[in-house]
Structure 1
Amino acid sequence: MFWIGSHISSAKGYEAMGKQAVKLGASTFAFFTRNPRGGNAKTIVPADVERFRASWTELGYEKGRIVAHAPYTLNACSDKADIRRFAGETFREDLRRMEYTPGNYYNFHPGSHVGQGMEEGIRFITGMLNDSLFPEMTTTVLLETMAGKGSEVGGRFEELREILEGTVLPEKLGVCLDTCHVWDAGYDIATELDGVLEEFDRVIGLERLKAIHINDSLNSLGSHKDRHARIGEGQIGWEAFVRIINHPALRELPFILETPNDDAGWTEEIRKLRAARKEAQEA
């Protein structure tokens, strides 16, 4: 199974998200746990979750992990104590809510240290994780690779490794690789994909790589800007994405589109990527 999907609005609940994903031709999907700019989360209705899980299993998609996304306002390493406190409270609430759909992924941006320095930023992030992760949780928390703009943490693989090494429950953590972000951070996935994955394996370990945000980039390699483009319409290019979705180290992972598109556009991107995957398998 090729696990490919896009971000789906969580406003109408799990069953509606599953139906929307199927409508787009997806076999997985991502969703924000609440408004991406912050705020209260929608009340979970257990019966709605059960209908989603039953229909997802009936479709044969139960082995394809769905990828929740924390709100963008969650900054675990802010220079303001109230923002760090909000991040921790939101993070812990989201992890409790994730247990309604056991065994899936919760992705978050590590944060921006806002001039405090990378070491201090990483200390705050690991502190939040150590206060939030618990042995019984079935969710795997994913650190997202970042573009390295401004004071972002996570623009280098080494920064993510330091976070992983600083947590007391590292087995609860993984990494989501964003193709636009790593490209903008300076990792040449267009012409040196094998080399980038070898570096990831050396620094972090490929066993930690759990999901892919699949996005082209409007920017040149190493620009540190983070501006997504539709697949094949940016600087990374279509042929690179054909190699990415078929790479032995990546092809069984869930791929989530975060491209600037509408439903028709995501449907077409999913169709084209599926066709490229099928063509490679039949070659």
Structure 2
Amino acid sequence: MFWIGCHLSAAKGYLAMGKDAEKIGANVFQFFTRNPRGGNVKALDKKDLEAYIAFAQEKGIGTLLAHAPYTMNACSADEGLREFARRMMEEDLERLELLPNVMYNFHPGSHVKQGAEVGIQVISKMLKEVLRNGGKTPILLETMAGKGSEVGSSFEEINEIILQVDEHERVGICLDTCHVYDGGYNLLGDLDGVLAEFDRTIGLKRLRAIHLNDSKNPMGSHKDRHEKIGEGSLGLEGITRIINHPKLMHLPFYLETPNELEGYGAEIALLKANRVEA
């Protein structure tokens, strides 16, 4: 099964997102848990949620990816902002427990001149506190491009966070193809080597999702500028290798390219045409 989808607007509710996904040929999708640039969360419409669950079962929609807002910085130098991040994550995860098939993705954050080592310790501390609350939703650390003081642009940094949360079974990875490529990993010329390094450092068993994005910039640029599929430096050939790689093709792929709904539909059709099922 090729699990492919994109980022949809949650403003109209779960059922509307499910119908939009079906309209463009997607069978998974991602959404922000709240305003990506804000902090408040809208009231949960349980009737809408129940209607979506029934719709998803009928249409065969797979695993959703709930994305934390960009304002969440688990390793901020400001203690108040760190506490804000923890509360947001706890609140998001509590709501996601109502969904039967969803994962939670977040950016590790920026250490803001504290240094990556301190940043890793603070992120791990927050995760430990959140995980003590229990729950079933997997929590995914997203691989980053290394822009500014971002934590998580190397597999080693991501792995250190996992080690410090005692390798908790709920903690996994979302690999962003643009971020990893911009971070200096040669997805285009040595995909096998990159995945072997990931497996040695973190373990492929931790890899739970792929953000499938082309990049506006060359490898190692540390820019984090997503491009439409086939129009960036990874190109259609590089993206096609990723979706057909035997160690990746079972995973859900979520597009975050600069698109509207129609554009996502065209990209999904393009990717399906280049998918080779085993």
What TM-score do the two structures reach when normalised by structure 2? 0.97
Whether contact under 8 Å (1:99, 1:137) holds in the other structure is: yes
- From 205, 210, 213, the equivalent of 1:212 is 210
State the secondary structure of the residue aligned to 1:281. coil
- From 226, 229, 232, the equivalent of 1:228 is 226
Deviation for aligned residue 1:134 = 3.6
Whether contact under 8 Å (2:64, 2:101) holds in the other structure is: no
1:117 aligns with 2:111: no
Match of 1:41 in 2: 41
Runs of 4 or more above 2 Å deviation? none
Instruction: Report 1:131-150 matches (<5 A).
Output: 131-134=129-132, 136-150=134-148
Deviation for aligned residue 1:281 = 3.0
Match of 1:172 in 2: 170
Distance in 2 separating the partners of 1:273 and 1:147: 24
Percent identical among aligned pairs is 58
Whether contact under 8 Å (2:66, 2:105) holds in the other structure is: yes
Match of 2:91 in 1: 93
Match of 2:277 in 1: 281
Match of 2:82 in 1: 84
1:84-130, CA deviations, whole angstroms, 9 ceiling, x for partnerless residues?
Answer: 11101101100101101034210000000000011100011001101
Match of 2:59 in 1: 59
Distance in 2 separating the partners of 1:281 and 1:78: 43
Deviation for aligned residue 1:53 = 0.8
Mean Cα deviation higher: 133-142 or 261-270:
133-142
Whether contact under 8 Å (2:218, 2:233) holds in the other structure is: yes
Q: Which runs of 5+ in 2 are unaligned?
A: none
Whether contact under 8 Å (1:141, 1:172) holds in the other structure is: yes
RMSD of Structure 2 on Structure 1 (CA): 1.2
Whether contact under 8 Å (1:230, 1:259) holds in the other structure is: yes
Distance in 2 separating the partners of 1:7 and 1:199: 28
Mean Cα deviation higher: 134-143 or 87-96:
134-143
Mean Cα deviation higher: 16-25 or 126-135:
126-135
Distance in 2 separating the partners of 1:79 and 1:107: 22
C-alpha change, 1:48 and 1:134, in structure 2 (3 Å) is farther
Distance in 2 separating the partners of 1:86 and 1:123: 17
Aligned residues: 278
What TM-score do the two structures reach when normalised by structure 1? 0.96
Distance in 1 separating the partners of 2:72 and 2:192: 33
Match of 1:151 in 2: 149
C-alpha change, 1:20 and 1:134, in structure 2 (3 Å) is farther
